[in-house]
Amino acid sequence: MTIPTVQLNDGFDIPQLGYGVFKVPPADTERAVTEALEVGYRHIDTAAIYGNEEGVGAAIAKSGIPRRELFITTKLWNDRHEGDEPRKAIGESLDKLGLERVDLYLVHWPTPAKDNYLEAWQKLIELREAGLTRSIGVSNFLVPHLERIVAATGVVPAVDQIELHPAHQQRDVTTWAAAQGVRIEAWGPLGQGKYDLFGIPAVKDTATAHDKSPAQVVLRWHLQKGFIVFPKSVRRERLEENLDVLDFTLSDAEMAAIDAIDPGDGTGRVSAHPDEVE
Ligand code: NAD
């Protein structure tokens, strides 16, 4: 099994399928990431706010997998956008992860009410120049936020990591990103289990037709859309199931039926609106 990679706008490759550890309890993280690495994941998505970077680092260290084969992402939390804070924050993350640099560092949320995401982005550019992260990107940025940081710095983020699943496809952001060469990372790719995604006929019936699970069909849809995904589970059988999506292809009609799940009015969002997160 070879996990496909996609190229970022800075020339580096990222595995299109990874493992995300949001809400993986710190005490369980080393075990979960160890199992993820054992079953074949090489891309891990964490964040300072998840409180589990140490567990990710312990699993990496014990795995013996060469560093160049791993792709590790972490994120700058909202209260550390200004001054020396971003440099301190990435230093703390690197210590916990046991790494000299991460592969991708993200501004976690724009927190527009504080009006400091442009400063955070400028700081990430410096962190990249200092070699503390190979690539830089953003998360939960909407088109106005993206346009502002690009206009001010001329540096286009490698990725925008946004809530994206069949009921909430964020077509305004994805359209902008495609035109600008920004890769979309879809968080909550399975809708975080917050609606009956797996019971929708376009998902359920397609799963039956391909002898796959509904989760596998949804993950396959993401991959064929070109999105980067890192579904979360702490169960080994689901870690394996979520990787086992490379041996079938959804037809154009099957893709279109899943595309049609989102009415396009924003009502499918299952988590916070980026303008409301402080
Ligand atoms: P997700 O859509 O991956 O859903 C996770 C839920 O789906 C879990 O409850 C799990 O039990 C269930 N699940 C996983 N595999 C399954 C399967 N095969 N069959 C049935 N159920 C299954 O949601 P998520 O964890 O929020 O998102 C994935 C990752 O995205 C996170 O771990 C994190 O790395 C990232 N994320 C980023 C942000 C951000 O603000 N940047 C926010 C949330 C999540």
Q: Domain 5-276 has what CATH class?
A: alpha beta
Q: 32: Cβ below 6 Å to ligand 1?
A: no
Q: What is the DSSP string of 212-243?
A: --HHHHHHHHHHHHT-EE----S-HHHHHHHH
Predicted model pTM: 0.98
Q: Three-state SS across 168-207?
A: ECCHHHHHHHHHHCCEEEEECCCHHHCCCHHHCHHHHHHH
| Mutational pocket test of ligand 1: of 173, 233, 242, 244, the residue with most ligand atoms within 8 Å of the beta carbon | 233
Pocket flag, ligand 1, residue 191 (CB < 6 Å)? yes
Ligand 1: does its nearest atom lie under 6 Å from the Cβ of 215?
yes
- Tell me how far apart the alpha carbons of residues 16 and 42 are, in angstroms, rounded to a whole number: 10
- Asked if 267 and 166 touch (Cβ cutoff 8 Å), the reply is no
Q: Which residue has the higher pLDDT, 78 or 264?
A: 78
pLDDT of 48 > 90? The answer is: yes
What pLDDT is attached to residue 226?
A: 98
Q: What is the mean pLDDT of residues 10-20?
A: 98
pLDDT, position 1:
76
What is the distance in A from the centroid of ligand 1 to the CA of 153? Answer: 32
pLDDT over threshold 80, residue 148: yes
User: Could you report the per-residue pLDDT of 183-211, keeping only the tens digit for each?
Assistant: 999 999 999 999 999 999 999 999 999 99
Please name the helix (run of DSSP H) or strand (run of DSSP E) that holds residue 47, with its range, or none: none
- Going from N- to C-terminal start, the domains of the chain cover 5-276
Give exposure, 165-198, as e/b (b: 16+ Cβ within 10 Å): bbbbbbeebbebbeeeebbbbbbbbbbbeeeebb
Catalytic residue among 19, 41, 50, 117: 50
pLDDT at residue number 147: 98
Work out the mean pLDDT of the chain and round it to a whole number: 98
Q: Catalytic annotation on 50?
A: yes
CA-nearest residue for atom 34, ligand 1, is 20
Ligand 1 atom 35: residue of nearest CA: 187
The values of phi and psi at residue 47, to 5°, are -160, 150
Q: Where would I find the beta strands (DSSP E) of the chain?
A: 5-7, 13-15, 19-20, 43-45, 71-76, 102-107, 133-139, 159-163, 183-187, 228-229
Average pLDDT over residues 53-63: 98
Contacts of 231 (CB under 8 A, 6+ apart): 19, 20, 189, 190, 215, 219, 242
Would you state the pLDDT for residue 206? Answer: 98
As a whole number of angstroms, the distance between CA 86 and CA 221 comes to 35
Structure tokens at 174: 């994805």
